[in-house]
C-alpha cells in the first residue's frame, strides 16, 4: 500500500485543536471505551492512525467522524493525553472547510484571525441597507406603538411592509447561500462516504420517499431524542445543555416560519394586517420567549462545560469550538435584550441592540456551512448513510 500523507492537512489538524495527535501510540483504549466502536470497526483508533498518516480523503469520507458526539470518554481515558475527541473535532473542522462553497468564504470562516472581518461583513451590509432605507431612531411613543416594525422605515404599500421587505432582502440571500452551500457540501460528503464504503455502484437505489422515510427521518428522530448522547459517560452533562439548545432552535424555527407566513403571505390578503409587535400573550410570542430563554440556558451550560474541560486539560481551546458558542449566545442575548428595551421604552439603545441582533442572526445563517453549526446537516447525513449502508439496498441480506 502506497501511503502519501498530506502534510498541509496535518498542519491544519494541529491548528484546529488536533495538536495532541502525535501523542497517540495506538493502545486502543479509546476504542475500548467508545460506545460507537465495534470489533469490526475500531473507532476512533482507526481514525487516529489515518490522521497520523495524513489520509485526509479517507477521513473526509468516513461517516464515523461525523457520528462522533465528542462526549469525551476517549479523551478522559487516554493514558497519553492524545485527546482523540479533539482530534476528531479538528477533522470535522477541516471537512467543513474542504467541502465548503464558495472556497474563499469557507476559508475565511475557519480561522479566528478573520473574526473582525466575519463580523464586519454583516455589519456593513445591514448598516448600508438601514441607511438607504431612510429610517431614523423613533420617539418613545413611536417605539411603543411600532416596536422594531419600522427599523427599516415605513411606507404606505399595504401588502408588504418596508421593514419586512428590507429584512427579506438581507436574510433570504444569506439563508439561501447557506442552504445551497450546505447542499453542495453534504452531496460531496455522501459521494465520498459511498466511495470509501464501496457502495457507490449499488444495484438498487431507494426512491426519494424511501430515502426520507427509511433513512433521513429516522436519523432526525434519533438526533432529537439524543440517544447516542445518552450513551456517553465522561461528559454526560452536555445533554443538559445540548437538548434545550436543540429544542430552542426548533421553537424559534416555528416562530420564524409563523412570522414569515403572517407578514409575507397572510398580510397580502385584503382586510388583514398582521404587521407590528405581537401581543406578549400570543402563544407564538410565548413560544418565542421560552425558546430564547432555553437557547441562552442551553448554550450557557455548554459554555460552562467547555470552560471546565479546558481548565482540567480535557479539551483544547479552539476558535472552531468557541465561535459557535459565542455566536449562539449573541443571538439569544441580543434578541431577549432588544425585547426588554422595547418594553421599558428605550428606543436609541433598543435600536443599537436590535441592529446587533440582526448582525448575529445573519452571521449564524451565512456562516453555518463552514462552522461547527454545520454538524446539524453533516451529522444528519452521516446517520442517514449509516442506516443506508446497512440496508438491503447495499448489503446483501443473504450474507448476514
pLDDT of residue 262: 77
Distance of CA 131 to the CA centre of its chain: 31
Those residues whose C-beta lies under 8 Å from the C-beta of residue 319, and which sit 6 or more positions away, are: 111, 112, 115
3-state secondary structure of 41: strand
Which CA distances in Å does 153 have to 80, 156, 163, 329, 353? 60, 11, 6, 28, 17
pLDDT of residue 244: 87
Phi (first) and psi of residue 94, to 5 degrees: -65, -40
pLDDT of residue 55: 85
User: CA–CA separation, 140 vs 170, rounded Å?
Assistant: 27
| Cis amide prior to 184 (ω within 30 degrees) | no
- What value, to the nearest 5°, has the Cα angle with vertex 383 and ends 3 and 65? 30
pLDDT averaged over 10-residue windows placed end to end, the chain, 400 residues: 66 73 88 84 88 86 88 85 88 92 93 94 97 93 90 82 89 94 95 83 78 92 76 65 85 84 69 66 87 92 88 83 94 95 95 97 94 92 91 69
The burial of 175, by beta-carbon neighbours within 10 Å (0-12 exposed, 13-18 middle, 19 or more buried), is given as middle
Which CA distances in Å does 283 have to 255, 288, 337? 10, 9, 20
Q: Residue 335 CB: number of other CB atoms within 10 A? A: 23
3-state secondary structure of 44: coil
Length of the chain: 400
Amino acid at each position: 500500500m502506497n501511503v502519501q500523507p498530506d502534510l498541509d492537512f496535518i498542519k491544519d489538524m494541529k491548528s484546529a485543536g488536533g495538536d495532541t495527535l502525535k501523542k497517540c501510540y495506538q493502545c486502543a483504549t479509546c476504542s475500548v471505551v467508545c460506545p460507537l466502536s465495534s470489533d469490526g470497526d475500531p473507532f476512533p483508533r482507526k481514525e487516529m492512525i489515518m490522521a497520523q498518516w495524513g489520509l485526509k480523503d479517507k477521513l473526509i469520507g468516513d461517516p464515523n467522524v461525523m457520528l462522533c458526539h465528542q462526549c469525551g470518554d476517549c479523551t478522559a481515558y487516554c493514558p497519553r493525553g492524545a485527546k482523540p475527541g479533539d482530534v476528531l473535532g479538528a477533522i470535522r473542522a477541516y471537512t467543513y472547510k474542504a467541502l465548503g462553497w464558495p472556497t474563499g468564504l469557507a476559508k475565511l470562516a475557519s480561522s479566528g484571525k478573520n473574526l473582525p472581518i466575519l463580523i464586519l461583513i454583516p455589519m456593513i451590509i445591514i448598516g448600508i441597507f438601514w441607511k438607504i432605507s431612510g429610517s431614523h431612531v423613533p420617539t418613545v411613543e413611536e417605539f411603543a406603538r411600532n416596536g422594531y416594525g419600522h427599523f427599516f422605515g415605513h411606507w404606505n404599500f399595504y401588502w408588504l411592509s418596508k421593514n419586512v421587505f428590507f429584512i427579506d432582502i438581507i436574510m433570504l440571500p444569506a439563508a439561501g447561500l447557506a442552504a445551497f452551500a450546505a447542499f453542495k457540501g453534504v452531496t460531496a460528503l455522501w459521494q465520498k462516504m459511498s466511495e470509501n464504503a464501496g457502495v457507490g455502484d449499488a444495484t438498487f437505489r431507494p426512491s426519494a420517499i424511501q430515502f426520507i422515510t427509511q433513512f433521513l427521518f429516522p436519523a432526525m428522530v434519533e438526533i432529537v431524542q439524543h440517544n447516542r448522547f445518552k450513551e456517553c459517560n465522561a461528559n454526560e452533562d452536555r445533554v443538559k445543555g445540548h437538548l434545550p439548545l436543540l429544542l430552542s432552535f426548533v421553537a424559534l424555527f416555528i416562530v420564524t416560519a409563523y412570522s414569515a407566513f403572517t407578514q409575507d403571505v397572510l398580510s397580502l390578503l385584503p382586510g388583514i394586517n398582521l404587521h407590528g409587535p405581537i401581543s406578549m400573550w400570543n402563544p407564538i410570542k410565548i413560544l418565542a420567549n421560552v425558546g430564547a430563554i432555553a437557547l441562552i440556558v442551553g448554550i450557557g451550560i455548554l459554555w460552562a462545560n467547555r470552560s471546565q474541560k479546558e481548565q482540567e486539560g480535557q479539551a483544547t481551546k479552539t476558535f472552531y469550538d468557541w465561535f459557535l458558542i459565542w455566536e449562539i449566545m449573541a443571538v439569544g442575548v441580543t434578541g431577549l435584550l432588544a425585547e426588554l428595551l422595547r418594553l421599558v421604552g428605550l428606543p436609541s439603545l433598543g435600536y443599537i441592540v436590535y441592529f446587533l441582533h440582526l448582525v448575529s442572526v445573519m452571521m449564524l445563517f451565512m456562516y453555518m456551512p463552514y462552522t461547527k453549526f454545520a454538524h446539524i446537516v453533516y451529522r444528519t447525513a452521516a446517520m442517514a448513510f449509516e442506516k443506508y449502508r446497512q440496508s438491503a439496498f447495499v448489503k446483501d441480506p443473504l450474507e448476514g
